Amino acid sequence: MESMLNKLKSTVTKVTADVTSAVMGNPVTREFEVGRHIASGGPGLCWRIYDGTKKSTKQEVAVFVFDKKMIDKYQKFEKDQIIDSLKRGVQQLTRLRHPRLLTVQHPLEESRDCLAFCTEPVFASLSNVLGQWDNLPSPVPTDIKEYKLFDVETKYGLLQISEGLSFLHSGVKMVHGNLCLENVILNKSGSWKIMGFDFSISAANPSDSEPKYTCKEWDPNLPPLCLPNPEYLAPEYILSVSCDSASDMYSLGVVMHAVFNEGKPVFQVNKHDIFKSFSRQLDQLSTMSSALLNKIPEEVQQHVKMLLSVTPTVRPDADQMTKIPFFDDVGAVTLQYFDSLFQRDNLQKSQFYKGLPKVLPKLPKRVVVHRILPALTSEFVNPDMVPFVLPNVLLIAEECTRDEYIRLILPDLTPVFKQQEPIQASNMILLIFLQKMDLLLTKTPAEDIKSSVLPMVYRALEAPSVQIQELCLNIIPTFANLIDYPSMKNALIPRIKSACLQTSSLAVRVNSLVCLGKILEYLDKWFVIDEILPFLQQIPSREPAVLMGMLGIYKCTFTHKKLGIPKEHLASKSLPHLISLSIDGNLNLNQFNSFMVVIRDMLSRMEAEHKTKLEQLHVMQEQQRSINISNPGNPSEEPKSQPSTGNQIDDIFGGAAVNGKENGSAAPAPAPKPNRMSLTLEEKQRLAKEQEQAAKLRNQQPLAPQAAKQSAASNAQAKDLTSSLLNNMTSLNSLSLANAPRPAPVQGSTMAAFPSPGTMMGPMGAQISNGFNTPMSFQTGGMGMGMRPPGPAHYGAGMATTTSTPNFSAFNQHQGPNKTPDMSALDSLFKPSQPKVTLNQMGPKAPPGTNNTWLQQLGGTPNAQTQMQGAPVPLGGVPGGFGMQANPFFSPQNFSQPAAAASLNQSGVKHSSSVSGDLKDLFG
C-alpha cells in the first residue's frame, strides 16, 4: 500500500513539475491557469495540449505548449528554423477565422523555455484518437484510449474538413500544404478543426481566376519539423516541385483512407530515400487495386480513388466534395444545420426544432450531448425560441444520467423555470415542463426542486389559462410521492383548494377534487380530517360531477387503511353533509345509489364501533358490580353518593339479567328487584304471606353467624337497590318530553323501549340470548342482526314512551325453573317509612292506540311499526361489499350529469364537455 502511495505521489509530483516547467515564465500564464496535459497535436505531434481557464472570466480554453527541450539535440541554426516554422504556422492560424479552422483565443507567446498560445477547448487531435499517442501523458488518458468514432462523426468530420479546404482554396486562395491527421483537431464538442499552417502557400496572384502557387523543393537535410508529412503529400510536390489546390485534395484522400484504416495512410514512405519511394508510389497509384480501398465504405470508394489520382485535374475540388451523396446522411445534415444556425431566422429555426425530436434517437448519445445539446441551450437566451428548443433539451435529459443532467443541463434550465415573459411563450413553457415533471423531480436535486421546480408548479395552478390548470391538476398525482410533505401541506394543497373555490370552470373544479382524492394517501389522517373534509363543505357547486368528486374524497378517506374517519366525525359532520348532498335533485339513480352505499357503510361502522365500546363498558361495570357483591363485609367502604344516571338506567333495563351467565346457561339467577309501583293489592298480600313464612323458617332454624351476616348484607343491598329504583323512576317521570332523546332508527330493525311479557323467541322458536346474560325477557333492537320480531306485541307504541311508567312484572318470569322466588328482599317495600304510590302509578301501561301526546308526536302506530320492520339485511345493516365496483372513484359513469339536469348551473360554473373524461384517471 505504501509503495502504491509513493508511486502515486511521484506521478503527481512529476506531472506538476512538467506543467510548471513547460510554461514557467511564459506570458500566457499571466492570463490563464494551466491545467493537466490532455493531448498532443500539430506537425509531428510536437505541441502538448493542456486544459486551462482564463483567470478573469473563468472561460475554458486549451493551452498549446511547445517545449524547447525537445529540440536540444539540433544545432542552433536548426533550432531556429524549427522555431520559425512553428511560429509561422500559429501566426497564420491566428489571422484566419472560420468555423472549420481552430479558433485562437490568445496569440503565440514565447519565453526562454517554450512557445505557448491558447485556443478554444480541445479534446484531442485526430491522430491521438486513431491510436498515435506520441507526446501524450503517461499513462494515456482513458477517454482518448477508449474513444471510438461513430459513423456520423466520421462523415460529418470529413465534410467539415472539405468545407475548411473550400474556404482556403476559394476564399483565401491558399494551399494548406500539410493536411494530415496531426493537423486535424477535435474540439470539446467533437467538431473537426484544421490547424498546422506551417507550410501553407498563398497564391502569387490571388485576384486571378486561376491562382498560381509556388512551393519549395524538398530538402532531406532539414529537420523533420521543418518539412511536411511526406505520407500525405501529393506526388507532384516531390517529383515536379509543383502544387495547387488539387494537391490538398490528394491529402484529403489520404486522410479519408487513414480514417477508415485505423490511422494508416495509403503508402509508407522511406524518408531516407523519398524520391525512390514516390516513384514507386506513382506506379501503384496508376494501377490502383480494389484491395487498397476495401475498408472504405462503398458509397465513397470511387470518390477516394479519384482524390488519389496521379493526375491533379481528375481530382474533385473541395466544393464538389461537400456535395457528394456520402455526406447526405441525416445525422451529418443535422449537425451541419446546427453549425449554420446563426445564419437562420426564427421561423427557420422553429421549423427545424419541431422536426428534431425525430432525429435525436438516431444519433449517438455522445454526439447529442456534446454537439447538439450546447447548441440547443445556447438558444435559451432567445425567449421566443425557448418553447421550440425546450422539448428537445428535455428529450436529451431523459437519456442522460443524473450526474450528466446536473452538470450539463440543469444550469441552463434554471433560468427557464422562472421565465414569465412573453406570456404566450411562458404558458407554453409551463405546459412542456408539466408534461415532463416526473423527469424533473427524479433528476433534480432536492434544493433545486424547492427553489425552482415547485414554484413553477404553484405558478401553473394560479395561471389564468384553464388548460394549464387542468394539466397541472392531472399530473400532480403522478409525482406527488416525490414532493416533500411540508411543501405539499403548506403550499400545494392550499393552492389546489383555492383553484377549486375560485375557478369559473367546472372542469377545473372537478379536476381539483380528483387531484385531492388521488393524493390523499400522501397526507396524514388528521390533516385530511381538519383541512380536506371541512373544505368540501365550502364548495358552492352542486353539479353531479362535483358532488361525486366530494363523495369520492369522503369514501377514499373512510376506506383508506392509513386514514379513516372517527365515529364522532362521522356522526356530527360527515354523515349530515353526505345525507344532505345525496338528496340533491341533480343526481341520477346510480349516483344516488352510490351516495347511499357510502352512507350505509359509514352508519354500519359507526354502529359497530360504538356498540363494541358500550359492550366493553357494560362488561367492566358488571365486573365491578360482582366485586362489590362478593366483598360485602365492610359497608362503610361502599360509596355514599348516589349512583350515576348511567348506572341507574343499567339497573332499570339490565337488572333482570345482569347476574346471568355469559354463556346463556339456565343456572338459577338471584331474585329480581320487584317494582312496587307495578304490584296489585292481591300480589302484595301474597308476597306478605310468603315473607311471613320465610320469617318463620328463619326463626325455626337459626342461621350460622356467617350466613346471618351475608343475609343481612343481602337485605341491606336489596333495600338500597329498591330505594335507588324508586328515585330513578321519580326522576324519569320528571323528564320533559321535549328534552327526551329520540333514537335514530336503524334500517331494517326496530327496538322496543321497554320489555314485554313472555320470553323472546327467534325465528325457529328458540330462546334468544344477548350473548352475556341468561335468556332475556325483553327484546333489544335488531341492531342490524337480520332478525324480525315475532309481532307487534313485543314493542311499545311508536318508539316507546320513556316517560311513562314501565311494567317490570316480566322480570319475575326468568328465575330458575321450578324454584320458589325469594321475596325477602322486598321487606323494605312495606315499611311505613316508604312513600305512598297512587293506584294510577301502579297500574299497567296504557294499551297501544290510546290518546297520548308522545305517541301522536312520533306518529307511532302498529302500522307504522310494521312499515319500519324492513327486510333482513346482512350483518352491519348495509349491503355487503364495498370494493372497486361500488366505489364512485372507479365508476366514471356516476359522474355524468343526468340529461334533465344538464342545463342546470346554479353556481355560475362553466360546464366543460371534458368533465367526465377528466375523472377517468381517478374513477376509472
What is the percent of the chain with per-residue pLDDT over 90, rounded to a whole number? 33
Tens-digit pLDDT profile for residues 463-495 = 888 888 888 888 888 888 888 888 888 888 999
Query: How confident is the model at residue 791, as a pLDDT?
Result: 41
Instruction: Label the pairing between strands 201-202 and 174-175.
Output: antiparallel
Whether 20 maps to a domain, the answer reads yes
Q: What is the pLDDT of residues 74-108, one digit of tens each?
A: 999 999 999 999 999 999 999 999 999 999 999 99
Summarize the confidence of residues 196-214 as an average pLDDT. Answer: 88
Range of the domain at 216: 1-327
- Which residue has better confidence, 607 or 864? 607
Q: Which pLDDT tens digit goes with each residue over 667-717?
A: 444 444 444 445 666 677 777 777 777 777 766 554 444 444 454 554 555
pLDDT of residue 247: 94
Give the CATH number, domain containing residue 300: 1.10.510.10
**Which residue did the predictor score with more confidence, 137 or 270?**
137
Scanning the structure block, which residue is given the C-alpha cell 394539466?
A: 471
Q: Is residue 913 part of a domain?
A: no
Cα dihedral 610/613/614/617 (nearest 10) = -170
Question: pLDDT at residue 390 above 90?
Answer: yes
Q: What is the pLDDT of residue 79?
A: 93
pLDDT band at 420 (very low <50, low <70, confident <90, very high): confident
| Residue 366 maps to a domain | no
Query: Is the per-residue pLDDT at 254 higher than 60?
Result: yes
pLDDT number for residue 698 = 66
Amino acid 679: pLDDT: 63
pLDDT of 649 over the 60 cut:
no
Q: What is the mean pLDDT of residues 57-84?
A: 93
**pLDDT at res. 93:** 95
368-384: burial string, b at 16+ Cβ within 10 Å, e else:
bbbbbbebbbebbeebe
pLDDT value at residue 167: 95
- Of residues 81 and 765, more confidence is placed in 81
Classify the C-alpha dihedral 523-527-531-534 as positive or negative: positive
With cut-offs at 50, 70 and 90, classify the pLDDT of residue 22.
Answer: low
| pTM exceeding the 0.85 threshold for the entire prediction | no
**Radius of gyration (C-alpha) of the chain in whole angstroms:** 50
Give dist(CA 566, CA 572) in Å, integer.
Answer: 10
Q: What is the DSSP string of 848-888?
A: TTS--HHHHHHT--HHHHHHH------TTSS-S--STTT-G
Q: How confident is the model at residue 462 (pLDDT cuts 50, 70, 90)?
A: confident
Mean pLDDT of 603-623: 91
CA distance 687 to 809: 13
Min mean pLDDT across 10-19, 50-59, 100-109, 660-669 is at 660-669
Statement: residue 217 has pLDDT above 80: yes
- Please state the rounded mean pLDDT for residues 803-818: 40
Q: Which residues pair with 767 in a beta bridge?
A: 761
Whole-number Å distance between alpha carbons of 597 and 879: 7
pLDDT > 90? residue 389? yes
| Cβ proximity of 362 and 370 under 8 Å | no
At 761, phi and psi to the nearest 5? -115, 145
CB neighbour list of residue 900: distance below 8 Å, 6 or more residues apart: none
pLDDT surpasses 50 at 257: yes
Q: What angle do CA 59, 62, 67 make, to 5 degrees?
A: 140
Q: Is the pLDDT confidence value at 311 over 60?
A: yes
In the predicted structure, residue 122 carries a pLDDT above the cut 80: yes
Is it the case that residue 810 has pLDDT exceeding 50? no
What's the structural domain count of the chain? 1
User: Residues 27-54: what's their mean pLDDT?
Assistant: 93
- Type of residue numbered 28: V
d(CA 501, CA 465): 16
Mean pLDDT of 127-143: 91
Whether the Cβ atoms of residue 260 and residue 181 lie closer than 8 Å to each other: no
User: How confident is the model at residue 179, as a pLDDT?
Assistant: 95
Angle between helices 330-339 and 346-359 (to 10 degrees): 150
pLDDT greater than 50 at residue 750? no
Task: Read off the pLDDT of residues 555-587 as tens digits, 9 standing for 90 and up.
Answer: 988 988 888 888 888 888 989 999 988 888 888
**What is the per-residue pLDDT for 700?**
57
Give a yes or no: residue 96 inside a domain: yes
Calculate mean pLDDT across residues 230-240. Answer: 90
> In terms of DSSP H, where are the helices of 462-566?
466-479, 485-487, 493-502, 506-519, 525-527, 533-536, 544-559
What pLDDT is recorded for position 776? 40
Q: Is-contact 722 828, C-beta < 8 A?
A: yes
How far is the C-alpha of 723 from the C-alpha of 524, rounded, in Å? 53
656: which 3 cell numbers?
333482570
d(CA 345, CA 326): 28
> Who wins on pLDDT, 727 or 342?
342
Distance (Å, whole) CA 167 – CA 158: 14
214-223, 750-759, 901-910, range with greatest mean pLDDT: 214-223
The Cα–Cα gap between 402 and 406 comes to: 6
C-alpha cell at 357: 425530436
Q: Output the CA angle 619-620-626, nearest 5 degrees.
A: 90
pLDDT winner (highest mean) among 94-98, 451-455, 867-871: 94-98
Q: What is the pLDDT of residue 211?
A: 87
- Please state, rounded to an integer, the average pLDDT across all residues of the chain: 74
The answer, yes or no, to whether residue 444 has pLDDT greater than 70, is yes
Inside any domain, residue 347? no
Cα–Cα nearest to 717, from 805, 655, 653: 655
Separation between Cα atoms, residue 162 and residue 249, nearest integer Å:
9
Q: Does 311 map to a domain? A: yes
C-alpha–C-alpha distance, residues 727 and 836, integer Å: 13
Question: Is residue 650, in this structure, part of any structural domain at all?
Answer: no
Q: Is residue 826 part of a domain?
A: no
Model pLDDT for residues 615-645, shown as the tens digit of each residue? 999 999 988 888 888 776 554 444 444 444 4
pLDDT score at 164: 95
Of the listed ranges 47-51, 366-370, 685-689, 881-885, the least confidently predicted one is 881-885
Task: Enter the C-alpha cell of residue 3.
Answer: 509503495
The pLDDT confidence band at residue 5, using thresholds 50, 70 and 90, is low
pLDDT band at 189 (very low <50, low <70, confident <90, very high): confident
Provide the β-strand partners of residue 48.
40, 65
Q: Which of 390, 493, 378 is nearest to 436 (CA)?
A: 390
Q: Which of 115, 247, 243, 122 has the alpha carbon at shortest distance from 180?
A: 247
Calculate what percentage of the chain has a pLDDT beyond 70: 67
Q: Looking at residue 34, what DSSP letter applies?
A: E
Main-chain dihedrals φ then ψ at residue 689, nearest 5 degrees: -65, -45
d(CA 47, CA 184): 13
Is residue 503 very low, low, confident or very high in pLDDT (cuts 50, 70, 90)? Answer: confident
Report the pLDDT averaged over residues 889-918.
45
Check residue 40 and give its pLDDT. 95
* pLDDT at residue 47 is higher than 60: yes
For residue 662, the Cα-to-chain-centroid distance in whole angstroms is: 54
- Copy the grid coordinates of residue 143: 477517454
Cα separation, 37 vs 141, in Å, equals 9
- 267-294: per-residue pLDDT in tens? 888 777 888 888 888 888 877 777 788 8
Say if CB 196 and CB 85 are below 8 A apart: no
**How does DSSP classify residue 380?**
G
Q: What share of the chain is helix, strand, coil (3-state, %, to 5)?
A: 55, 5, 35
- For β-strands 174-175 and 104-110, DSSP reports them as unpaired
Pick from 568, 577, 564: nearest CA to 538? 577
- The sheet with strand 192-194 has its strands ordered as 122-125, 184-187, 192-194
Grid coordinates given for 274: 523519398
For 921, the enclosing helix (H) or strand (E) is helix 920-923
Please give the Cα distance from 685 to 681 (Å, whole number). 6
Distance CA 759, CA 775 (A): 8
Across 5-9, 738-742, 811-815, the highest mean pLDDT is recorded for: 5-9
**39-43, 445-449, 763-767, 792-796 — which one is most confidently predicted on average?**
39-43
